[in-house]
Structure 1
Amino acid sequence: MAKNRLLRMDNVSIVVESLDNAISFFSEIGLTLEGRGKIEGEWAGQVTGLDAQQVEIAMMITPDGHSRIELSKFITPPIVSDHRTAPVNSLGYLRVMFTVEDIDDMVARLIKQGAQLVGEVVQYENSYRLCYIRGTEGILIGLAEEIGKNKNL
């Protein structure tokens, strides 16, 4: 009997208060708004277990076209908890990591938009420069810049 195989990962979903602010933040990183709309109806509540729900979403896509972030703003039901400022050693969702061409430039641009560097930009061996950033609404992201001989892999 053939084993069912994974085809792809479609997206990561992040719940936000302001779609406009989140779209602006992820656009600054380099993602493009692919679409925006409302999700509602009995079928949506059956999938999530939230019964009657109304959610506005924005789908952001990476430049290579392979990865997406779904930004969700719940209209109903109301938000019940907030994990955005949890420290990096908390259980559950932690962060999304992006590879960038120039980490120093990206950090400077995001800080101008109000983001905060969590620790420092550090170098891991001769492979990467890395950091964590808290952006709009406290969303935690990681940035990585390939360095050395691995840059073109």
Structure 2
Amino acid sequence: MTNNKLLRMDNVLIVVDNLEAVKAFFLQLGFELEGETTVEGSSVDRLIGLQNVRATLVFMRTPDGHGRIELDKFYTPDALRTGPEKAPVNELGIRRIMFAVDDIDDVVARLLAHGAELVGEVVQFGDTNRLAYIRGPEGIIVGLSEQLK
């Protein structure tokens, strides 16, 4: 048995149709743009097991530099939706990504002003934290957590 260890989580991939809307949502949330590129060719095809891939990738990071997301817009082959766009929180699979914020009311208000919607309500748990689930473009759910002092 080897002593190899997991080093870190590099990013979470979100495949999107409206790249600009989703990118704007995450910028409004507070992410910073790291870069954007288009990929295609046989090495990409072999890596992801599809043929004739052409996609734009957008890399974004949290302000502390530790959390990253990758947004992918596929031009070929077409991206597939297998379930409803507004899947409920209890649908199997990855349903949300949680982010720590310093002022949940401000972040919720900013996101709602840009077309996002609350999934439920902003809820306080004892005197430790406040949480909210926000649905953004294409049904993407993010969780927000504010630790109370």
Distance 1:10 1:142 in 2: 19
* Gap runs ≥5 in structure 1: 149-153
Matching of residue 97 in structure 1 with residue 98 in structure 2: yes
State the partner residue of 1:140.
141
**CA distance in structure 1 between the aligned counterparts of 2:14 and 2:107, rounded to whole angstroms:** 21
Moved more, 137-146 or 80-89: 80-89
Matches of 2:42 and 2:125 in 1, distance apart? 48
For residue 58 of structure 1, what is the aligned residue in structure 2? 58
How much has 1:123 moved relative to structure 2?
A: 1.0
Q: Which 4+ stretches in 1 moved above 4 angstroms?
A: none
Corresponding residue of 2:42: 42
Match of 1:88 in 2: 89
1:151 aligns with none
- 1:50 partner SS: coil
Q: Count the aligned residue pairs.
A: 148
Deviation per CA, 1:2-36, whole angstroms, max 9, x where unpaired? 32200110000111112211111101111001000
> Aligned letter for 2:113?
K
Report the counterpart of residue 123 of structure 2 in structure 1.
Answer: 122
- Aligned-residue RMSD, C-alpha: 1.2
Separation (CA, whole Å) in 1 of partners of 2:113 and 2:79? 29
Distance 1:3 1:46 in 2: 29
**Corresponding residue for residue 31 of structure 2:** 31
More deviation in 122-131 or 30-39? 122-131
Secondary structure, counterpart of 1:26 in structure 2: helix
TM superposition shift of 1:82: 4.5
Alpha-carbon distance, 1:93 to partner:
1.3
Partner of 1:113: 114
